[in-house]
Amino acid sequence: MDDLNLLGPQLALLIGAAYIIIVDVLLPLAGREAYGQRRLLLPGLAVLAAAGSAGWSLALVLTDERGEAFDGMMTVDDFTLFFNFLFAGVAGVIVLGSVDFLDRNRFRAEYLALILAAAAGMSLMAAGTDLIMIFVALELQAIALFALVGISKSDSGSEATLKFLLLSAVSTAITLYGMAYLFGLSGETSLDGIASYVANTDENRSALVLAAVFLTAGLGFKMAVVPFQMWVPDVYEGAPTPITAFLSVASKAAGFAVVMRIFLVALGEGIVTTDWAYLFAAIAAVSMTVGNVLALVQGNIKRMLGYSSIAQAGTILIGLAAVAAEDPQLLLGTSSVVFFLGAYAFTNIGAFLAIIAISHKIGSNEIDDYAGVAKRSPLLALGLAACLFSLTGFPPTAGFIAKVYVFNAAVQADLVWLAIIGVINSVIAAYYYLRVVLNMFARDPETDDAFQPNPYLGVALAAAVIGLFAIGVYPTPLIEASESAARVFG
């Protein structure tokens, strides 16, 4: 029972997913009127499942339940719990933001169930402490996401799905190859077992480096960093916008969570640590630069945010590079990564929610068509502007603290050069983020029709915006959460 208790947050999501499918099948039997309630009933159930998951995590926190489950396959610790909250919250908000989209899609129940399943998979990725478990979790969320990307069955959606599926398959194979190396060398699949092998060996250095490179490449796909980012723009553009938001926040965070687990635990000590730290530093520098430069020239706001998310992933990697660089900052680097992921979740989700609402009304994702949105819907425009300012890193928003915290980790780890590349990239990023703000505020709209988002999305957006200001003004709670998540690796 203890095992199940620890698995509770994920179980809540999966049970919710199953329940939604069942209700959807049974609902026509309850009569026409009940069937008409589908529009809100099913998303309501999904939000309930997410809330239940978060509530369960909260119960685990309050009762101070921690520990391994299922013979060490997964571990519930502060790190796991942080991501449990993150994924449950993101899933709930994405559901709220999908109400409009679902009116135009007949796979309502499937869509919601898949989101919950994917969130459960991501949550398990963060919890997994065994290669087998991690791989299964990885597949669970990946398969759910394939279906979600193509769920609107449009041409661009199908193209996106195919691209996503093929490249994801390749990356999974590469990840598996890296895992196979670790298993082959150490004879263990548990991360602790591998760690004790790696920490005590002087041999097989090149094989370990190779394993690290394969894992980086395979998981780099999930984190969406250069040079494993090719899928991002097309998939982000082709997928339904709520799913794009889900990919850019949750899927990316899950990738980072797994990377932290594997690299910090299994490869955390021993002969290859500085090797992968510099590998991450290089990837961070390239991702930031390539992502930002390509984002500059995008006309489609979803593509722009796609490239920008590549750049943001690069910024997050700075923290990971700081973990094992010249002057290792294990706790600070990890804590800055976790904090950034949390802050980024609020910010990017908020940006996508605003885009969902605006694009739905103006019928376009082109940045040029955002002209004068501030006149037609001042609150939405302000909400999007707040998120974009946070993405740029302006105070007093979450993005500001997150960037300062990550750069601080870099400076302390003697990676000043990387911090400088990071800040120069912030300037480039300011250019394309602010372009959207300028379009909304300083240009005149073609029509003066005012519009409002639907209330569910409005509430979610307001929560995200309030959250990003709250973190910006009073970051201590999130910092403390990140710090205790980081101590898991200490």
Partner 1 sequence: MLTFAIFFPLLGAVLIATLPKAQERSAKHIAAVTTAIVLGVVAYLFIDYDRGAGGYQFLDSSTWLDSAPDISDFDLNYAVGLDGLSLPLVLLTAFLGLVSVLISWRIELRPKEYFAWLLVLETSLLGVFSSLDLVLFFLFWEVELIPMFFLISVWGSGNRVYSAWKYVLYTFFGSAFMIVGILTLGFTAGTFDIRELAEVGSFDGAIIPAWAIFTLLSIAFLVKMPVVPFHTWLPDAHTDAPTAVSVILAGVLLKMGGYGILRMSFSIMPEQASDANVIFAIIAAVSILYGAMMTLIQTDLKRLIAYSSVSHMGYVLLGTSSIGVVGLTGAATQMVTHGLITGMLFALVGMVYDRAHTREIGQLRGLATRMPFITAMMLVAGLASLGLPALAGFAAEVTIFLGTFERHEALTIVGVLGVAFAAGYILWTVQRVFWGEPDPKWAELTDATEWWERGPLIALTAAIVAIGVYPAWVMDLLHDGVAPIAERLA
Minimum CB distance to partner 1 smaller for 220 or for 475: 475
Is 268 among the residues that bind partner 1 (CB under 8 A)? no
| Shortest Cβ 153–partner 1 spacing (Å) | 40
* Interaction of residue 234 with partner 1, rule CB under 8 A: no
Residues with Cβ within 8 Å of residue 304, at least 6 apart in sequence: 295, 298, 367, 432, 436
Draw the binding track, 458-477, toward partner 1 (x: CB under 8 A; -: no contact).
----------------xxx-
Dist CA 220 CA 199 (whole Å)? 24
Q: Which two tokens stand for residue 132?
A: 């087998």
Which range of residues in 106-114, 120-128, 209-217, 401-409 is near partner 1 by CB under 8 A? Answer: 401-409
Is there binding between residue 404 and partner 1 (CB under 8 A)? yes
Q: Which is nearer to partner 1, 270 or 395 (CB)?
A: 395
- Say how many residues touch partner 1, by CB under 8 A: 43
Q: Which of 187, 205, 207 is nearest to 197 (CA)?
A: 187
Which window, 226-234, 258-266, 297-305, 418-426, contacts partner 1 (CB under 8 A)?
418-426
Least distance to partner 1, CB of residue 291, Å: 17
- Can residue 379 be called a binding residue for partner 1 (CB under 8 A)? no
For partner 1, the binding residue among 246, 400, 432, 456 (CB under 8 A) is 400
Q: Is 396 in the site for partner 1 (CB under 8 A)?
A: yes
**Shortest spacing between CB 414 and partner 1, in angstroms:** 5
222, 219, 220, 244: which is closest to 234 by C-alpha?
A: 244
Is residue 486 a contact point for partner 1 (CB under 8 A)?
yes
> In this structure, are residues 87 and 250 in contact, taking their beta carbons and an 8 Å threshold?
yes
CA 126 to each of CA 76, 169, 263: distance values in angstroms, whole numbers, following the listed order? 9, 20, 13
Nearer to partner 1, 59 or 442 (CB): 442
Residue with token string 């870099």: 410
CA distance 245 to 148: 12
Q: What angle do CA 474, 479, 484 make, to 5 degrees?
A: 150
Q: Quick one: which segment of 4-12, 24-32, 349-357, 414-422 binds partner 1 (CB under 8 A)?
A: 414-422
Which of 6, 87, 412, 488 binds partner 1 (CB under 8 A)? It is: 412
Q: Which is nearer to partner 1, 290 or 410 (CB)?
A: 410
SS3 327: coil
| Interaction between residue 426 and partner 1 (CB under 8 A) | yes
Q: Which is nearer to partner 1, 25 or 423 (CB)?
A: 423
Segment near partner 1 (CB under 8 A); pick from 104-112, 179-187, 300-308, 434-442: 434-442
**451 contacts 361 by C-beta, under 8 angstroms:** yes
- Of the candidates 181, 246, 307, 405, which one interacts with partner 1 according to CB under 8 A? 405
> Of 178-186, 274-282, 300-308, 393-401, which segment contacts partner 1 by CB under 8 A?
393-401
- Residue 401 lies near partner 1 (rule: CB under 8 A): yes
Give the closest residue to 388 by CA, choosing from 413, 417, 354, 416: 354
C-alpha dihedral over 314, 305, 424, 336, to 10 degrees? -40
Please enumerate in sequence order all residues whose Cβ is within 8 A of that of 216, keeping only pairs 6 or more positions apart, or say none: 259, 276, 279, 280, 283
Least CB distance from residue 434 to partner 1, whole Å?
A: 6
CB of 89 to partner 1, least distance (A): 22
Min dist. Cβ of residue 483 to partner 1 (A): 5
What is the smallest separation between the CB atom of 26 and partner 1, expressed in angstroms?
47
**Quick one: 32 exposed, middle or buried, by C-beta within 10 A (0-12, 13-18, 19+)?**
exposed
Number of neighbouring beta carbons within 10 Å of residue 327 = 11
Residue 368 neighbours by CB under 8 Å, 6+ apart? 299, 439
Position among 146, 256, 394, 456 found at the interface with partner 1 (CB under 8 A): 394
Binding mask 308-327 for partner 1 (x = CB under 8 A): -------------------x
Q: What is the DSSP letter of 393?
A: T
Q: Pick one of 272, 483, 488, 489: the residue that binds partner 1 (CB under 8 A).
A: 483
Length of the chain counted residue by residue: 490
Residue 427 in contact with partner 1, rule: CB under 8 A: yes
For residues 90 and 250, the answer to whether their CB atoms sit within 8 Å is yes
Dihedral sign from CA coordinates of 51, 55, 57, 61: positive
Compute the distance between CA of residue 153 and CA of residue 104 in angstroms, rounded to an integer.
12
User: What is the rounded CA–CA span in Å between residue 255 and residue 216?
Assistant: 10
Q: Decide: 386 and 437 in contact? Cβ < 8 Å.
A: no
Given the rule CB under 8 A, which residues bind partner 1?
A: 327, 329, 331-332, 335, 389, 394-396, 400-401, 404-405, 407-409, 411-412, 414, 416, 419-420, 423-424, 426-427, 430-431, 434, 437-438, 441-443, 474-476, 479-480, 483, 486-487, 490
